[in-house]
Amino acid sequence: MSASDFDEEAVGRARRRVVDKITELIGNTPLVRLRSFERGLPGIEIWAKCEFMNPGGSVKDRAAYQMIADAVAAGRLDPAKEIIDSTSGNTGIAYSLIGGALGFKVTLVMPGNVSWARRKISEAFGTRLVFSSPMEGSDGAINLCRKLVDESPDRYFYPNQYGNEANPEGHYQGTGREIWEQTGGRVTHFVAGIGTSGTVMGTSRRLKAYSKDVKCYAAEPDEALHGLEGLKHMASSIVPGIYHPEELDGVLPISTEAAWDVCEQLSREEGILVGHSSGAAVAGAVRIGRELVKEGKPGVIVTVFPDRADRYFEAPVTTQAGPTEEPR
């Protein structure tokens, strides 16, 4: 069967997914409606952008690629230098994939309690891992990474995802534009969790550039000691230099329990298995939906699924009694 046997539009769709490098598949992720979360919310639509469908498996592919591409274009990164950054996992996997595709060595500084899956995925790309104290979380990894860079400045290129404006720029150019186009400009509210803050800042700026009426919110853990890996409780953390809360319409504190409950509902009622940061974002979207219903207003609320739940799986440990879950 030849191409002429297909209609021209179908051939065009197929060709759009033919690429020279894996990095060209970053972005243009699908949007899915979450109807089970709209129950009891008349006039409200809740949608999620499936960022786990990026080639590296997370939303961080966008920021990592933008930071690396900008550095190469500016002459700050060449194959003689090694990429190094601190990460709780997803950005590190993105660096690892992009480094493999473009020919750069990568070193990652991770908290010692980062998930087994993220460690193994990063190592599979040939990435070198350095672990910071698990008790210090992402801030400990940031501090150790800075120390390594200070000790060997000529060896490393340090993108500094927490302070690099190319991070939100990746979402300004991609995520925000795509959401506007996918909703036909109907989006009224946007919610995203805070890690580096690149996703919520860059996407919000783009949506507000289209329409100042779009309301944008960050979702964060409601306390310092929380179980939402990848998210930051800003009051108790090193605040990223790229985070500018004054540009947002509010910050939504989300409990660990609420986020975990949402993840369970997503898997059982939507068939979507995602990480707990996704649960926090959807919990925030539902909260906004309830407020709109109280006010008698409709809404098209969009959020982001940063990654899949398999990023958080732990390897079983074999004992005399048989396989058991590895203690954390």
- For 7, half-sphere exposure in the C-beta direction (CA atoms, 13 angstrom radius) is 2
Interacting residues of 98 by C-beta distance below 8 A, sequence separation 6+: 23, 56, 61, 64, 65, 68, 104
232 is catalytic: no
Cβ–Cβ < 8 Å for 111, 132: yes
Among residues 86, 96, 138, 277, which one is catalytic?
277
204 is catalytic: no
Q: How many Å apart are CA 13 and CA 66, to the nearest integer? A: 25
Among residues 49, 60, 208, 215, which one is catalytic?
60
Q: How many Å apart are CA 40 and CA 46, to the nearest integer? A: 12
Angle (deg, nearest 10), helices 198-210 and 175-182: 50
Active-site amino acid positions = 60, 277
